């Protein structure tokens, strides 16, 4: 997480590369064009898994602490318990948003006022709880977490925070699979806000799945959590070459993207 204490959002300093540039993918130069984007990403030699995660023992310890240290039914109390535990466990700290990121998330949610939201990479449930606080009471949140033990813990934490089953649905699936199932299995027609907080080297794959799914509409906001990692460049290149998306802002490791077509 970025430790800069500045409170003013700033534009990304990443340099944007033309969509006609060539990149190295599995030893073959592929033209970066819309039609080749999927092939580029699929066969690119991606780095090892960059997802922030914790082992089952740490998950259980975090769960116990939150259960005993928080006031049930009070989201702020549950989030505070997360933060307290993160103060003594660096791995858990890596799962949580910073205060500055929380404020940015709040501003973005206020701007788009989502009725249907999607979290890809729910992890311990912190961001899902924070987002549920910001949604209208009639809104629906779909929270996706591929790791079974983490998904179970996250669902429990969301319920402990006081949110009801009719306000959210926890899906224990791979993000791309969940995206395609939203319409076919859950009847989701449109999603207004998406938070991508899973493997940053798979965010391009996620954007491609979102595009193909047909659940986005002009104005849908996508917020990606992008740590300082080489694969961030792949995401920026894809967004710059894709007519469906535009880069809006970047702040404290969070990249705001809007679906425009």
pLDDT number for residue 42: 38
Domains of the chain: 22-259 (3.40.50.150)
Give the model confidence (pLDDT) of 232-247 as tens digits. 788 888 999 999 999 9
> Residue 35: pLDDT band by 50, 70, 90 thresholds?
very low
| 189-206 core/surface letters (b: 16 or more CB in 10 A; e: else) | eebbbbbbbbbbbbbbbb
Instruction: Give the global pTM.
Output: 0.79
| 50-79 core/surface letters (b: 16 or more CB in 10 A; e: else) | bebbbeeebbeebbebbeeebeeeebebbb
Nearest residue to 254 via CA among 82, 168, 130:
130
pLDDT number for residue 212: 95
Q: What is the mean pLDDT of residues 120-132?
A: 96
pLDDT number for residue 52: 61
Whether the per-residue pLDDT at 1 is higher than 80: the answer is no
Which residue do the tokens 């299995």 mark? 185
Q: What is the mean pLDDT of residues 109-138?
A: 95
Whether the per-residue pLDDT at 130 is higher than 60: the answer is yes
Q: What is the mean pLDDT of residues 70-75?
A: 98
Tell me the torsion sign for CA atoms 123, 134, 255, 184: positive
Q: What is the mean pLDDT of residues 180-195?
A: 95
The length of the chain, given as a count of residues: 261
pLDDT number for residue 53: 72
Mean pLDDT rounded to a whole number for the chain:
83
Q: What is the mean pLDDT of residues 97-118?
A: 94
């Amino acid at each position: 997480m970025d430790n800069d204490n500045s409170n003013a959002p700033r534009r990304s300093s990443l340099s944007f590369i033309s969509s006609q540039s060539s990149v190295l993918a599995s030893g073959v130069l592929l033209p970066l064009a819309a039609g080749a984007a999927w092939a580029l990403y699929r066969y690119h030699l991606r780095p090892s898994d960059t997802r922030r995660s914790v082992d089952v023992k740490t998950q259980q310890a975090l769960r116990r602490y939150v259960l005993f240290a928080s006031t049930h039914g009070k989201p702020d109390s549950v989030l505070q318990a997360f933060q307290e535990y993160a103060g003594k466990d660096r791995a858990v700290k890596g799962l949580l948003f910073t205060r500055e990121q929380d404020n940015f998330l709040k501003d973005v949610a206020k701007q788009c006022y989502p009725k249907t939201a999607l979290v890809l990479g729910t992890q311990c449930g912190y961001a899902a709880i924070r987002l549920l606080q910001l949604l209208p009471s009639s809104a629906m949140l779909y929270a996706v977490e591929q790791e079974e033990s983490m998904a179970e813990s996250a669902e429990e934490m969301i319920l402990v925070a006081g949110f009801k089953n009719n306000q959210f649905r926890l899906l224990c699936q791979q993000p791309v699979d969940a995206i395609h199932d939203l319409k076919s299995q859950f009847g989701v027609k449109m999603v207004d806000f998406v938070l991508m907080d899973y493997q940053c080297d798979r965010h391009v794959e996620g954007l491609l799945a979102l595009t193909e799914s047909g659940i986005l509409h002009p104005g849908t906001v996508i917020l990606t959590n992008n740590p300082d990692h080489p694969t961030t460049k792949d995401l920026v290149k894809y967004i710059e070459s894709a007519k469906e998306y535009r880069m809006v802002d970047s702040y404290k490791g969070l990249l705001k993207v809007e679906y425009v077509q």
